[in-house]
Amino acid sequence: MSVSNAVTARRSVRAFTSDPVPDETLRSLVDKAARAPSGGNVQPWRIYGITSATMASLRSHLSESEPVEAPGYEVYPPKLWEPYRTNRFRNGEMLYATLGLEREDKAGRLEQFARNGDFFGAQAAIFCYVDKRMGPPQWSDLGMYLQTFMLLAEEAGLNTCPQEYWTVRQNAIGEFVGAPDDVMLFCGVALGHADPNAPVNSLVTERQPLEEFATFL
């Protein structure tokens, strides 16, 4: 698979099959993704992999933990402005449309959002941590690692969903993986095989036209 094809094919999958992910595949993806660039080659990411064999134990642990905690950071700036507000709004409307959930169906939308806590059925995952003393440039490095990981997963015939949702379950996850106190959870990535029959997986999010975000001189 070419890089261009992987970039085009990658999407956030929100319904996975029960097919397991081989441990060696998970380990290989985590290892290869570390070739992602980072400022000064600092390599600030700290990754915890959840294998298919471990996933059931993690789900059980989460069911016995506090369901929602205070987030470790603001996922979006308060009072999001244009054009970012519309981009986010459109994403939500398109997502819920695939599920037939009207805007007024708040219970249905909350139920779908809660499926984050089950990794949307994925049978493997990673959690990406960073030292609390790191700053925005290193957080950017995490993004490069995560994108590299997800593109490699596409090449390997797997699908992903990056989940900042896990910042509201940071204590439960940290306790399970044994993360030290000096690191914070940035996000998780669900990993597995997309369910081809799930309508939600038909979503292809929009992108702004090139002229709206790029200037060439």
Q: How confident is the model at residue 66 (pLDDT cuts 50, 70, 90)?
A: confident
Token duo for residue 204: 């292809």
pLDDT at 126: 98
For 41-50, what is the mean pLDDT?
A: 98
Cα distance between the two ends of the chain: 33
For 173-195, what is the mean pLDDT?
A: 98
State how far the alpha carbon of 29 is from the alpha carbons of 9, 43, 49, 70, in Å: 17, 16, 10, 31
Q: Give the tens place of pLDDT for each residue, 79-129.
A: 999 999 999 999 999 999 999 988 888 898 888 988 999 999 999 999 999
- Average the pLDDT over each of 92-106, 129-143, 169-183 and give the range with the smallest value: 92-106
195 in Cβ contact with 16 (< 8 Å) = yes
The full set of domain ranges for the chain reads 3-75+119-201
Buried (b) or exposed (e) across 149-167, using 16+ Cβ within 10 A? bbbbbbebebbbbbbbbbb
Residue 16 has pLDDT above 90, yes or no: yes
Residue 32 has pLDDT above 90, yes or no: yes
**Residue 134 DSSP class:** -
> What is the CATH number assigned to the segment(s) 3-75+119-201?
3.40.109.10
Q: How confident is the model at residue 69 (pLDDT cuts 50, 70, 90)?
A: confident
Token duo for residue 126: 């990673």
- Provide the 3-class DSSP secondary structure of residue 147: helix
Give me the amino acid identity at 112: Q
